[in-house]
Chains A and B, each alone.
Chain A
Amino acid sequence: MEAVKRTKKRSQIVEVWKRFRKNPIAMAGLGIIIGLFVLAAMADIIAPAQGLAPGYDVQNLMNARQFPGDGFIFGTDHLGRDIFARIAHGARVSLMVGFIVVTISMTVGVTLGSIAGFYGGIIDNVIMRLIDIVLAIPALLMAIAIAAALGPGLVNVMIAVGLNAIPSYARIVRAQVLQIREQEFVEAARSLGANDFRLIRKHILPNCMAPIIVEATMGMAMAIAVAAALSFIGVGLQPPVPEWGAMLSDARRFMLGGYWHMTLFPGLAIALVIFALNMIGDGLRDAFDPKLRSATVSKKRFEKIRRTIAMEAAKS
């Protein structure tokens, strides 16, 4: 079975990768994320503030609010800490939050969604109505409420953000399961004596991985954004943890003073990681299912749409 498993992985992933590779924007996104990973992994080595590790926390009021330049490529903040070092270490925090939140919310969401879709009836109704309740509350508002109730801290932020992400997985998976459970190969497996758990795990879920993976990529971007937002308004990670949102929050006070670099770089970091993840997500969606590609409009079609609009305008 060892050999069998290997072939399986190769065939599916290679095919997707081949298509993904042809998408330059998605590849750029992937490059950015890999770069951020390298930055996060080597944060201690590439960003020791003046030789003192961990560097991100070294305060030196003599160096406060320096503009980018000598020794500090992104400048320093109001306490004289190296912004580049803090961004590098902040990448660790953000990527970790993103990953853990996605892993946990995906696991819970996929489990709930597949149970709801597979069994239907009352079970489906109970699960999906609970999901609807979560969805009815604005995501950020709920995250703030949970984070405020639980108190600040890394774990609490992840709980607050993760709870918000569960519904989308559950809904996607449920819709997929409803479609796939009716297929003949599921019935075939049942006729061989497979139990429900095996049907879901071996036959249904592997056939709905594509949208889950796409959602996970996008979900990671959302998790990072919400975590940064929580830190920005002060209910998330607390200083001195180098979190991008918290850095923005600190720097905000100095914007009017002309210290643009203090807000620019953390803001850029957040924007970049979210942009990159979304591009990867889009690329993956296209790579998994080339038939579903609808975002791009061909030149010819664009011309046609333009002409129709012009005609409509001329009429009125």
Chain B
Amino acid sequence: MSALLEVKNLKKYFDTPKGPLHAVDDVSFKINKGETLGLVGESGCGKSTTGRVVLRLIEPTAGQILFDNEDIMKHQKAQIRKFRENAQIVFQDPFASLNPRMSVSEIIAEPLIINKKSKDKQELQKKVDELMDIVGLAERLAHVYPHELDGGRRQRIGIARALALDPQFIVHDEPVSALDVSIQAQILNLLDELQKERQLTYLFISHDLGVIKHVSNNIAVMYLGKIVEMSDYKSIFTDPKHPYTKALLSAIPVPDVDVKRERIILEGDVPSPISPPPGCRFYGRCYQRQDSCMGTDPKLTEISEGRFVACHKCN
């Protein structure tokens, strides 16, 4: 399997009055064609920024992004446009990500119009109808406005829009976190079907471990701008290595009153990303810390086939 997307040492620092905010700090990962990488972490850990930087919606501070073996970082404006035909994004909030002044069919037609993908109006109309059908939107909804629809249908519009240019790669930025649980399942199934049919590659960002487990081939856990653990979806749930992953997994509610969960309660708060602590970023809250953690920042290293952990204790 060849990697469709490879990210190396990606960094994004935002300038703030108090100093640079380390949103994404030295992140590297690969996604194979047709697979899904789940990116999980708590609010503010840099998952969404990572998703946007990968598409160059936000300019990275440093790093390399290889898409289909091409260096995206070297692209100029016109090439980025071309690249975006291949790499799309589905946003978290289906209320904010759709223009309230445009009807459903106008929204879905927009990528086709911008990139001049159809010769005439009939062809455009046909393509829009097709896309609506693919994502399961009834034809009668073509001329209604987003505010008249529920969250699930709106998210389908967002997906249709992302599919319009027939991309190979889609970033899903928490696509279901704003939806009801029953609708989440529908959307996740739709995404799954689309992936199988079209050989799509996903970067799936979520804070919901249940969702991530369901959709991902590989999972990367982020903490304060860094990936702390990355492996296939099974072993991360059965045998987490990094103390943060363990704590995260222990927080998943078990739907059984008799089972007594062993919860790992972390102390303290996430340190400020503006001046992250030296050494391991998790040091202050870690229940397995040792002295060496304070001095040097643990590198993400492969401890066994396909399993990456950034922790001094595990190496």
Contacts and interface: CB of A to CB of B under 8 A. Distances in A.
Given A8-B103, A206-B101, A207-B101, A188 B84 contact: no
Contacts of B105: 4
A184 to B, nearest CB: 4
A99 to B, nearest CB: 25
Interface string A278-303: 00000000000000000000000000
B186 interface: no
A85 B111 CA distance: 57
Contact of A3 (B91, B96, B143): B143
A272 B124 CA distance: 50
Nearest to A7: B143
Interface in A156-205: 183-185, 187-194, 198, 202-203
B94 to A, nearest CB: 9
Contacts of B114: 189, 192-194, 198
B57 A190 contact: yes
A2 B102 CA distance: 14
Given A1-B121, A4-B105, A4-B143, A192 B57 contact: no
A185 B85 contact: no
A206 B103 CA distance: 13
Contacts of B92: 184
A80 to B, nearest CB: 56
Contacts of A202: 99, 102, 110
A12 interface: yes
A185 B81 contact: no
Contact of A189 (B103, B110, B142, B165): B110
A190 B80 CA distance: 11
B121 A191 contact: no
Contacts of A206: 99, 101-102
B84 A11 contact: no
A192 B98 CA distance: 13
B205 to A, nearest CB: 14
A185 B55 contact: no
B91 A11 contact: no
A1 B142 CA distance: 11
B13 interface: no
Contacts of B121: 1-2
Interface residues of A toward B: which range?
Answer: 20 to 34
Given A4-B103, A192-B111, A193-B84, A184 B55 contact: no
Contacts of A185: 96-100
A242 B121 CA distance: 51
Contacts of B216: none
Contact of A191 (B89, B93, B99): B89
Contacts of A3: 143
A172 B115 CA distance: 32
Interface string A203-229: 100110000000000000000000000
B124 A191 contact: no
B161 interface: yes
A173 to B, nearest CB: 16
Nearest to A190: B57
Contact of A192 (B110, B142, B143): B110
A137 B133 CA distance: 59
B88 interface: yes
A183 B96 CA distance: 7
Nearest to A203: B99
B25 interface: no
A12 B85 contact: no
B214 to A, nearest CB: 25
Interface string B155-189: 00010010001000000000000000000000000
Interface string B138-160: 00001101000000000000100
Nearest to B95: A184
A184 B107 CA distance: 13
A-B pairs with lowest CB-CB distance, top 9: A7-B143, A184-B96, A184-B97, A206-B101, A192-B111, A185-B99, A193-B81, A188-B97, A193-B114
29 contacts: A1-B109, A1-B124, A4-B106, A4-B142, A4-B143, A7-B103, A12-B101, A183-B96, A184-B97, A185-B96, A187-B57, A187-B97, A188-B89, A188-B91, A188-B97, A190-B57, A191-B84, A192-B110, A192-B114, A192-B115, A192-B165, A193-B84, A193-B85, A193-B115, A198-B114, A202-B99, A202-B102, A207-B99, A207-B101
Given A4-B143, A184-B96, 17 more contacts: A4-B105, A184-B97, A185-B97, A187-B57, A187-B91, A188-B158, A189-B110, A189-B114, A191-B55, A192-B110, A192-B114, A192-B161, A192-B165, A193-B85, A194-B114, A206-B99, A207-B99
